[in-house]
Amino acid sequence: MKTTKFLIMKKLILAFFLLSFYANAQNTYPVIPKPNSLVEGKGKFSITPKTKIVVSTNAPETRKVAEQLAQRIQIVTGNLPEITSQKTPNSISFEDAPALGPEAYEFVASPASVIIKASTAKGHFYGFQTLLQLLPPSVYSSSLQPAVKLTVPECVIKDEPRFGYRGMMLDLGRHYFPVSFIKKYIDLIAMHKLNTFHMHLTDDQGWRIEIKKYPKLTEIGSKRKESMAGHYRDQKWDGIPHEGFYTQDEIRDIVKYAESKFVTAIPEIELPGHAQAALAAYPELGCENKKYEVSTLWGVSDQVFCPNEQTFEFLQNVLTEVMELFPSKYIHIGGDECPKTAWKNSEFCQQLMKKEGLKDEHELQSYFIRRIDKFVTSKGRKIIGWDEILEGGISPNATIMSWRGIEGGIDAAKQGHDAIMTPTSNLYLDYYQSNPLTEPIAIGGYLTIEKVYGYEPVPAALTKEQAKHILGTQANLWTEYIATPEHAEYMAFPRASALAEVAWTKAELKDYKNFALRLKTHFERLKHLGVNYARSYYDITASTLKDAKGFPVVKLENIDKDVIIRYTLDGTEPNAQSLAFDPAKNIPINADMLISSAAFSKTGDQLGKVLTKQFVVSLSTGKTYTLADEPQGYTGGEKYALTNAIVGDLSNSSSWVGFNGKDLDAVIDLGQRTLFNRIGVAFQRASASWIMLPRYVEIFVSDDGKTFKSVKRIEMDTSDKPEYIVQQLNIALGTQNARYIKVFAKNYGKLADSHPGHGNPAWLFVDEISVK
């Protein structure tokens, strides 16, 4: 016994040392995305006023990278390092390594020098980014940092990206953002070793690129009279006009700026749908012979391009100007969310379908895309389209951007087409990242940093050969509810930092805890860069455990083990003086409780938002139950979350039990006949996530667990309501004396025609069943 304990102790001590060593080690090399090979050393290289930058390659582009490094050092030290081609000690040198891949680099830091080797200037640039991240975060500052010591820890790094396509999209159609912000966004893309900036330039709500041949596109199409102020179902507008577009000179400047950071700017011109702003300028391009307005509604518009010769001539002329501005291999032509109503009602379209032998409007969309594909391909470029362009037959040269899920990517790869993975579930940065009730309004959904980080871009359904068609991955920032640079930064970061590691780092090297540790240093960099990153990293999670005697206790946690979690039990907000949570003494729940907690720094600064959670203790707490159907998803990670004392809410540590298309049919065994008169149960509604309230709830009791008697049935109001609600039912039953209780909730069923997921089964989300 003693020996075993001793061995366990020894193991624990060893694990502790390894862990702390690893933690410290990783804090010394906090590079994001994580390099694919890093050997640590003990010494360090110091940048001094005498340090020179050596460029031993003739490539002019590498010289420009060296200049960027010299300027960075000058900004923070006041001293501009000399750039020379002569090898010299005390230097940072850029050297040729022709055997390395086009985006690969090697980085060797020793006390004598830093050497960055690559076969391309892009590789040198990535080595430069790694160098910056091995220096103190203040190296990113825009002002003199007299106290900073620019030292680089000794190491050997061999690095190259997992995927060739590593992108970030910014929706400029819904809101115009100033060129200065676009450049900042590009800087941030480059800093994360992402290489593609997808510019969504046109949409129903705005056309944002100057086209010389069609001036009305920007004269009329770049202006809308107001924007929605709230969710679609709220039907409210702000009365504030919105406008803006990029001149061709500005576009050239942006493209050139991106090139200097080794980022390819890819334009997206939406067709045949999301075209209402273009139709407002040139109504003859629609099928309906009417006047159009730039849309003031978010969502999907029925007002789409008509597939007539005039439209094709227009689009070819537009694309010709666009291709002159953007040298990228890929041109994104949209292709998503094109309702077929206008085409169904159009005599012209019906005749065209007959003439071309097209069996339905999906084939007409395919015909539309094929013609555009042919034109773009004839100019030596390639089209990218959203995954809807698979419907009605994929165009011969198209690359698919899989967004509605991963199926588009799977289909494309199986058909021998390339795909870029950008599923809403993991990579839509317009989704909420924290408790929707305390976040700025967002489109919906729920996407934490950890969920972005956990994304694996290669679908398991593909063979090794097919998987080669997965070119890479991209996060999308749609801006319906994002009107300012500060808000865009808040939504993008740090989730885009997680994307960077998904796109760059080998899957087997990914580790969320380790990433989270590096992220802390990364936050310091973002601060110096003036990026308004979100603090959801400091969200508290609460879980319940059983103590040694079997009583429920609450554990409060944050991914950052250095923070102090402070809490109150009286409903007030915690502050720097509140009780500090002691992980060795979880909080006992001996009665119904409200715990409000937040992460604080050691110096008393509040780091994240307050989490307020309700706990109930009742006759059912900790009791097991049987379910007629297994839950398909539960966010709390445990099936028995219905009786774990935590009441479901909209924070990220809720333990909702989810049923996809199935009913809740739970039988709780109280162990013996018991008197009770009340049942509490809560349901969530989050329509954008397909989570709907049940149709009705019915309570049954039984003494033998076989024959049940209905004691109450409650009809639920399932009509449209605010996006996120928790419907708490507190059901009075009259005095009951029974051992078994059945709680039945009827699933909403299939989503209605008005819902974007129409025809699919709804989720039923239920939590804490309390019996009193």
Residues with a catalytic annotation lie at: 203, 274, 337
- Total residues at the site for ligand ACM (CB under 6 A)? 4
Cα 537 to Cα 224, 433, 449: the distances in Å are 36, 9, 7
The DSSP bridge partners found for residue 242 are: 224
Query: Binding ligand ACM by CB under 6 A: which of 336, 560, 629, 663?
Result: 336
Q: How far is residue 755's CA from residue 744's CA, in Å, rounded to a whole number?
A: 25
Closer residue to ligand ACM (CB): 373 or 430: 430
Q: How far is residue 204's CA from residue 181's CA, in Å, rounded to a whole number?
A: 23
Q: Does 560 bind ligand ACM (CB under 6 A)?
A: no
Query: Binding ligand ACM by CB under 6 A: which of 386, 493, 615, 683?
Result: 386
Q: How far is the CB of 168 from ligand ACM (least distance, A)?
A: 14
Q: How far is the CB of 163 from ligand ACM (least distance, A)?
A: 20
Closer residue to ligand ACM (CB): 412 or 563: 412
Nearest residue to ligand ACM, by Cβ distance, number only: 336
Nearest partner of 493 among 139, 128, 189, judged by Cα: 189
Q: How far is the CB of 386 from ligand ACM (least distance, A)?
A: 4
Q: How far is the CB of 304 from ligand ACM (least distance, A)?
A: 14
Tally of residues, the chain: 772
Q: How far is residue 42's CA from residue 29's CA, in Å, rounded to a whole number?
A: 12
What lies within 8 Å, CB to CB, of 294 at 6+ separation is 204, 205, 206, 220, 221, 223, 224, 225, 276, 277, 280
Q: How far is the CB of 337 from ligand ACM (least distance, A)?
A: 5
Query: Binding ligand ACM by CB under 6 A: which of 337, 363, 663, 669?
Result: 337
Nearest partner of 743 among 575, 608, 601, 620, judged by Cα: 620
Closer residue to ligand ACM (CB): 210 or 388: 388
Q: Does 298 bind ligand ACM (CB under 6 A)?
A: no
Q: How far is residue 306's CA from residue 508's CA, in Å, rounded to a whole number?
A: 48
Closer residue to ligand ACM (CB): 300 or 670: 300
Closer residue to ligand ACM (CB): 160 or 268: 268
Report whether the peptide linkage leading into residue 494 is cis, meaning its omega lies within 30 degrees of zero: yes
* H/E element, 69: helix 60-77
Token pair in block for residue 147: 């106290």
Q: How far is residue 750's CA from residue 756's CA, in Å, rounded to a whole number?
A: 12
Q: What is the DSSP letter of 218?
A: H
Closer residue to ligand ACM (CB): 165 or 748: 165
Q: How far is residue 477's CA from residue 498's CA, in Å, rounded to a whole number?
A: 14
Q: How far is the CB of 455 from ligand ACM (least distance, A)?
A: 16
Closer residue to ligand ACM (CB): 207 or 386: 386
* H/E element, 191: helix 179-191
Q: How far is the CB of 254 from ligand ACM (least distance, A)?
A: 22
Q: Does 403 bind ligand ACM (CB under 6 A)?
A: yes
530: left (phi over 0), alpha (psi -120 to 50) or beta: left
350: left (phi over 0), alpha (psi -120 to 50) or beta: alpha
Q: What is the DSSP letter of 687?
A: G
Which residues of this protein are in contact with ligand ACM, per CB under 6 A?
Answer: 336-337, 386, 403
